[in-house]
Structure 1
Amino acid sequence: MDFANSIALVTGANGGLGQYYVEALRSHGASQIYAAARNLNSLDDLVATNPKIIIPIALDITNEQSVNQVASQCQDVTILVNNAGVGFNQGLIAASDLSQARMEIEVNYFGTLMMCRAFAPVLKQNGGGAIVNMVSMVARVNLPFNGSYSASKAATLSLTQGVRAELAAQGTLVVAVLPATIDIGMGKTYPDPKVSPEEVVSDALQALLDSVEDVYPGEQAKQMAAELLRDPKALEKAVAMMLPSSTH
C-alpha cells in the first residue's frame, strides 16, 4: 500500500488513539485525512496542525443516517480506520444493569459494522484499499473486570474476520489490531506493562504495508497471543483472577 497516494478516514479522531492515527498517516504522506468525531469542535486543535490535509467530519457511527451521509460525502477514501469505541470497566454480572453493555455493543460492534458496510463499495471503486479495525487482546480472552467490553470486542473480532472474507474478492485488506494494555485513556489506570499509543499505530500501519491481517502491538499482546497457542486455558484462568470490585 502506498500511503503517499492514500486518502484516509479515521473515526474517533478527537481523542485516544485517533489523533495518533491522524498524525501518523500525515507523517507517512497521506494526501488527505478525514478526521471524524461526533463533535466537530473537538477536532479544532488536531485540524489546526495541518488544515490543508486534515478535514474535520461530523460522524456518529451509531447513527446509520450519519454513517451513510459521510460515506456519500467521502467517496475518495482508500483507507478506513475504525478507531471509535467505548468501554466502561464493568463486569458482566457485577454491572448494575445492561445499559453500558448495550452501549459497548452498539458502538464497538454495530458502529464498526455499519462503517464497514457503508465504505465497502467506496473502497471497491477506489481499487480495494484497506480497513483497519481497532480490536483488543481482550477479544480473545475475557478480562472479567471489563467483561462486557471484552465481549463487545470479541464480536468486533468476529465481524472483522467475516468482513475480511466477504471483501477479499474486491482486494480490500482488513486488518485487526489487537493490543493489550495501551498507555492511554482507561489503560492509564491498569497495571504495567503497557504499550505506547505511538507503537500501536506504528504497528498497525506497518501491517498495512506488509499485508498482515492480525497484528499484536506491544510485548504484552505478543506474549498473550503466544500463550493462547500454547495453553489457552491457563491464560484464561490467569486473567480470570482480575475480577470486578463489587457485585450489584
Structure 2
Amino acid sequence: MQLKNAVVFITGANRGLGRAFAQAALAAGAAKVYAAARDAASVDLPGVVPVTLDVTDAAQIAAATAQCGDVTLLINNAGISQSAGSLATGAIDVARRHLETNVFGLWSLTQAFAPVLQANGGGAVLNVLSVLSWVTLPGSAPYSVSKAAAWALSNGLRAELRSQGTQVTSLHVGYMDTDMTRGLDAPKSAPADVARLALAQLETGAFEVLADDISRQVKQSLSGATPAYAG
C-alpha cells in the first residue's frame, strides 16, 4: 500500500491522532484525504474533505460510503475512553458504549468500505488499537475490553480481506499527548510521530505496528513466563 496518490478516509479526524494522520497522509502525497468527524465543521485542516460521520450511526456510514467511493485506505481511528472499575456500578453500561464505538463502529465502517476498497484495487485498512489490547490497568476495563475485541476483529478481518487484496494493519500505542490523556502524568508519544510511523510501516506491508517502547515491551511479554497482563 503506497500513500502517494492514495485516497484516505480517516474517522475521528478533527483532533489528536486522527488529525495527525490527515496531516501525515497529505505530507506523504495522498491525492485526497477525507476527514470524518461527528461535526464536520470541527475539521479545520486545510487540504482535506470534511465528512460528517458518527461511526455508531448506520445511515451516516451508508452516506459516507456513497460519498467517498474512491477510497483506497480506511483508517479506523475514532474511539472513546472512559474510566470505570470492573465491579463499579454502571461499568457494564460504560463498556457497552465503548463496544459500540471502538468495536462495532470499526466493524461497520470496514464492512461498508470493503467493497469500495476491492473496486479500487484492494487498498488497506489501518485500525487504531492500543497497548491496552493486551493488558488491563485499574479503571481501564471497559476500554481494554473494547480494544482486545478490536484486536481479535482486526485479525479476523485480515484473514477475510486478504483474498480481495486488502491489507489490514493494527496499530498499538500507549499514552499519546492528546485530549484523551490530558492531566495524566505519564510519558506520552506525540501524535504526529505515531501517525508518521504507522503510515511508513503500512507502506512496507506490516500487519502490526508497535508505536512505542511500552507496546513493544508488553507484546514481547505475552510469550514469557510472566506476561504483562498477569501483573
The answer to whether TM tops 0.5 is yes
RMSD value over aligned CA atoms? 1.4
Measure how far apart 1:151 and its partner are. 0.1
Aligned to 1:243: none
Question: Does residue 1:102 correspond to 2:87, yes or no?
Answer: no
Aligned to 1:66: 60
* Structure 2 spans left out of the alignment, 5+ residues: none
Pick from 51, 59, 81: which aligns with 1:57?
51
Residues matched between the structures, number: 231
Give per-residue Cα distances to partners, 1:28-61, cap 9 Å, x unaligned: 0101000001111111x22xx22xxx10111111
TM-score by length of 2: 0.95
Measure how far apart 1:24 and its partner are. 0.3
Decide which structure has the larger Cα Rg and report it.
1
Query: Is the 1:199–1:218 Cα contact (8 Å) retained in structure 2?
Result: no
Q: Distance in 1 between matches of 2:170 and 2:38?
A: 24
3-state SS of 1:5 partner:
coil
Counterpart mapping for 1:47-196 below 5 A: 49-50=46-47, 54-196=48-190
Query: Is the 2:12–2:37 Cα contact (8 Å) retained in structure 1?
Result: yes
* Structure 1 spans left out of the alignment, 5+ residues: 239-248
Measure how far apart 1:102 and its partner are. 1.1
Q: Distance in 2 between matches of 1:199 and 1:93?
A: 36
Measure how far apart 1:67 and its partner are. 0.6
Give per-residue Cα distances to partners, 1:125-164, cap 9 Å, x unaligned: 0000000000111111122311111000111111101111
Q: Distance in 1 between matches of 2:2 and 2:159?
A: 23
Q: Distance in 1 between matches of 2:158 and 2:40?
A: 31
Aligned to 1:34: 34
Query: Is the 1:139–1:150 Cα contact (8 Å) retained in structure 2?
Result: yes
Q: Distance in 1 between matches of 2:85 and 2:15?
A: 25
Question: Does residue 1:237 correspond to 2:230, yes or no?
Answer: yes
Measure how far apart 1:93 and its partner are. 1.1
Measure how far apart 1:228 and its partner are. 1.9
